[in-house]
Amino acid sequence: MNNLNKNNDIDINIDSSSNNTNNSSNNDYNYKELKKIKENNKFDWVLFKRFLKIIKIIYLKPTIPIVLLVILFGLAVGSTYLSKYTGIVLANIYGSFSTGNKELFLKSLFTGIGAIGSSALLDAIIKFIVSIMAWRWRKVLCLYMQSIYFKKSLFYKIIAFNDKIDNPDQRITSDIDNFTTLLATIVSQCITSPMIVIYYTYLTFTTINWYAPLIVYGYFFLGYFLNKLVMSPMVSINYLQDKLEGDFRYLHQRIRNFAESIALQGILKENFNVSQENNINSYNNNNNTSNIDYDKEYLINNNNNSLKNRKNKKQNNYNNNKNDINKKYFNIDGEKNEKDLVEEGQAKEQFDNLLRNKKRVICWQFGLNTTSDLFSYLSPLVNYFIISLPVFFLNTKSTLLPAEVTVQSYNCIMLASGFSQYISVSTNISDLSGYVSRISTMIEICFNILNDKSLETDLVSSSINNTSVSSSSIPLESSNNFSINHSDNDINQRKIIINNGENIKLDYLSYYSPKGNKLFSNISLIIEKNQNLLIMGPSGCGKSSLIRIINGLWPFFTGTIDKPNNDKIFFLPQQPYLIFGSLESQILYPFSKSDSKRINEKEMRRMFSQFELEYLLDREMEIKNNQNIINDLTHNWLNQLSNGEQQLISIIRLFYHRPQFALLDESTSSIPQNVEEKVYQIAKQLNITTISVGHRLSLLNYHSHLLKFNKNKNWSIEKINNDNHDNNQNNNNIYD
Ligand SMILES: Nc1ncnc2c1ncn2[C@@H]1O[C@H](COP(=O)(O)OP(=O)(O)OP(=O)(O)O)[C@@H](O)[C@H]1O
C-alpha cells in the first residue's frame, strides 16, 4: 500500500504497455477523483455515524423490522442448537463403525436425517426472512429519499445549483437496493454467528479445555486485523466504482434520449469522412496516373531486378496501409478513433476510466479474498492443532477416541465457522461502506439545500402586506421610472407577495444566475390582466431566468415580486415536457388521472382538432387496439412526436388548465406562424394573459408590451404599436 502511494500511482499497473496520452489523462482523472473520495469517505467514525443515521431512517417505523429481527434471532438459536446434533450424530456413526453396532448406526442415521433436515429448513426460512427484511428496508429508505428528492423541486436544485452529487438517480435506484440487500445479509451473519460463537465457546471449553476457545479467538482477531488493513482503501475504490458505473450508464442514457440528434450528426460526420476519403483517393489516383507513365518509362529503362524490388516495396506499402486501416476501423483498445462519433469516443473514455478502477477493485478484492480464504482454509489445521495439544504437547492425555476427536473437531470447526462468518462480514462491510457514503452524502446534501436559508424567499400574502406596489393605474411603459416609497432595506431583501390574481408586479427586481453573475438590475413593472408582455433579448442574457425567478424556482434575486399563486400561473418551459402515459394524461398534467379528473373522448377530440391533431388520438387508439398498453409508465411519447407536436400538446394542456397568466418560454418556436397566431387568439378568448419569451418578430403581433434586454445588461419597456409595426424589419439591431 505504501509503495503504491509513494509512486503516486494507485493503479495496479496490469497493462503498463498503454502509455498513450488518453490513458495517462484517464489515470490522472481517476487518481484525482480517488484522492478526493478518499479524503471524504474514510473507513472511520464519521462513516459509522453516517451508517447509524441510515439505520435510524430504516427503523423509523420499527415494529415490523424488530419483529423480523426477533424471528431471525429465534431461528438462529434453533438452527445453532440443532447443529449440535449433527456433531453428535456423526460421532455416533463413527463409533458404530468401530464397535460394529448396526442398531446405533441406523438410529443415528434417522436422527441425523431429522436434525440435518430441520437445520436445512431453518436456514431456508432464515434466508427468506433476510430477503423480506431487505425488501422492507429498501421500501422505507427509497420512499424516504424520494420524499426529500421531490420536496421543493430539490431534484432540480441538486442539478442546477449543486455539483456535489453525481448520479442522484443511481443513488436512489441501485445504490439503495444494493445497500439494503447487503445489509440484510450482514445482519443475518451477525445474528447467527454470535450464537454459534457463544454456544461453541461453551462446548469447546467443556469438551477440550479453556485454551481451545482462546486460540480460536486469537486466530480470528489476527484474520480480522489483516482484513481491515485491506478493507480501508476499498471504501473509496468502491465508491469511485459506483460513481463511474453511474456516469457510464448516464452517458448511454443520454445517447438514448438524444438518439435522433446524435444519429443525424453521425451521418453528417460519416459523409464528411467519406468525402474526405474520396478526395484523398482521387488525389492518389491522379498521382497514380502519373506514376503509371513514370513506371512505363522506368520499365523500359531498367532491368528485371529493379522491377522485383519495386514490387516488394509496393507489397510492403500495401501491408502497411492494410494495418493502418485495421487500426483505424477495428480498434478495440479503447483508443479514440478518427471515425468514432464524439459520443462513441466519450463512451470509450468513460468505459476506460471505469475499467481502470474496476481493475483496482478486482486487485484489492483479490487481496481481501486471499486473506479471508486463507484464514477459512487454515482453520481445520488450527482445530486439529488444538485437539492435539493434550496428546502431543501438554501430555495430559495419552490417546483420544475416534468419537472424541469427531466431537471436539466438530465443535472447533463450528466455533471457527462462526468467526469466519465475521471475516466474510468484513468483505461485505467494505462494499457496504461505499453505499453508506453515497446514500448518506446524498441525504446530507439534500438537507443542506433544503435548510439553506439563502435559497428561501419570504412569502407574504398581499392582504397583510401594506407596502406592496399599490397603484394599478401605473402603466407598463412608464414603470421603468416609477417609484414607490421603499426603503433601501426593501430593495436589498427579497420578498414574494402572493396577490389575488389581478396582476404580476416586479419591484426593483435584480436577479442573478446560480453562480452569482448579475443578470439584470432594478426591473420594475406591472403586468395587468390582458396586457400581454413579450420579453426579447440576446441568447443567454437572462430571459428564461426571469421566468424561473417569477416562478420561485430560482431564489437569486433582490426586490419584490408580487404575483398570483402558482396555481393561477402556468409555465411552459423551452423544452416541451411530456410524461409517460396516455394523451389524456399529458393534458391533465401536472395533475394525474383520477376519478374526479378525466377528460372525455369528445372534449379531447375538440381540443386536438383546434390544431388539427386528431390523428394523434387515432394513433393512440391504434396502439391501444394493438394491445400495447398506452397509459403504463413506460410509454414515451417524446420519442414518437415531432417537436411541433410536442409544443402543441403542451399548449393544449395550457388551454385545458385555463390559468390567469401563462409564461411561455419560446413555447411556439417549432410551430408555423399561422398556428402560433391561433394559439394567441385562443389564449385571448380564454382570458389568459401571456408573458412570452421569444426571438420571432411575429410574436410582437400578439403582445401589447415589449420588455427588451440588451447585451449591456440594460433593459427597457415599450408599448407595441401593432398597427404600425413592421414585422419584417431587419432584426439585427433589435437587442442593441
Ligand atoms: N444552472 C445554472 N447555473 C449557472 N448558470 C446558469 C444556470 N442556468 C443558466 N445559467 C446562465 O444564466 C444566464 C441566463 O440564462 P437564461 O437561460 O436565462 O438565458 P436566456 O436569455 O433565456 O437565453 P436563450 O435565449 O438562449 O434561451 C446564461 O448565461 C446561462 O449560462
List pLDDT tens digits, range 723-735. 644 444 444 444 4
DSSP assigned state of 247: H
> Which residue's C-alpha comes closest to atom 28 of ligand 1?
540
Question: Which candidate, 543, 444, 569, places its Cα nearest to that of 49?
Answer: 444
The pLDDT of residue 324 is above 60: no
Residue closest via CA to ligand 1's atom 25 equals 539
pLDDT at 509: 93
Q: What is the pLDDT of residues 235-285, one digit of tens each?
A: 788 888 888 888 888 888 877 777 666 776 655 555 555 555 555 455 455
* Per-residue 3-state assignment (H helix, E strand, C coil) for 250-319: HHHHHHHHCHHHHHHHHHHHHHHHHHHHHHHHHHHHHHHHHHHHHHHHHHHHCCHHHHHHHHHHHHHHHH
* Helix runs in 459-597, H state only: 488-492, 543-551, 583-588
The structural domains of the chain, with segments of one domain joined by +, span 2-258+349-451, 259-342, 457-531+550-564, 570-733
Residue 382 Cα to ligand 1 midpoint, Å, equals: 69
Q: Model confidence over 669-721: pLDDT tens digits?
A: 999 999 999 999 999 999 999 999 999 899 999 999 999 999 888 999 988 87
Q: What are phi and psi of 728, to 5 degrees?
A: -95, 10
Rounded to an integer, what distance in angstroms lies between the CA atom of residue 462 and that of residue 545? 24
Give the pLDDT score at 733: 45
Q: What is the mean pLDDT of residues 435-459?
A: 85
SS3 450: helix
Reported confidence tier of residue 592, pLDDT bands at 50, 70, 90: confident
**Is the pLDDT confidence value at 533 over 90?**
yes
Tell me which of 492 and 197 has the higher pLDDT: 197
- Nearest alpha-carbon partner for 432 in 85, 191, 183, 623: 183
Mean pLDDT (the chain, rounded): 77
Fill in the amino acid letter for 166: D
Q: Which CATH number fits domain 2-258+349-451: 3.40.50.300, 1.20.1560.10, 1.10.340.30, 2.40.40.20?
A: 1.20.1560.10
If one compares 544 and 376, the residue with the highest pLDDT of the two is 544
Question: Please, are residues 80 and 196 in contact by the beta-carbon 8 Å criterion?
Answer: yes
Q: State the Cα torsion 54-434-176-65 to the nearest 10°.
A: -40
Question: What number does CATH give the domain 570-733?
Answer: 3.40.50.300
Using an 8 Å Cβ cutoff, are 15 and 363 in contact?
Answer: no
For residue 729 the three cell numbers come to 424589419
Report which secondary-structure segment, H or E, holds 139: helix 102-149
Cell digits of residue 121 = 429448513
Q: Cβ < 6 Å from ligand 1: which residues?
A: 160, 513-515, 519, 537, 539-545
Residue nearest to atom 3 of ligand 1 (CA): 514
Beta carbons within 10 angstroms of residue 545's beta carbon = 21
Q: To test ligand 1's pocket by mutation, which of 543, 553, 665, 691 has the most ligand atoms within 8 angstroms of CB?
A: 543
Q: How far apart are CA 343 and CA 269, in angstroms?
A: 12
Q: What is the pLDDT of residue 396?
A: 83
Using DSSP, state whether 524 is helix, strand or coil: strand
* Percent of the chain with pLDDT strictly greater than 90: 24
Report the Cα–Cα distance between both ends of the chain, in Å, rounded. 62
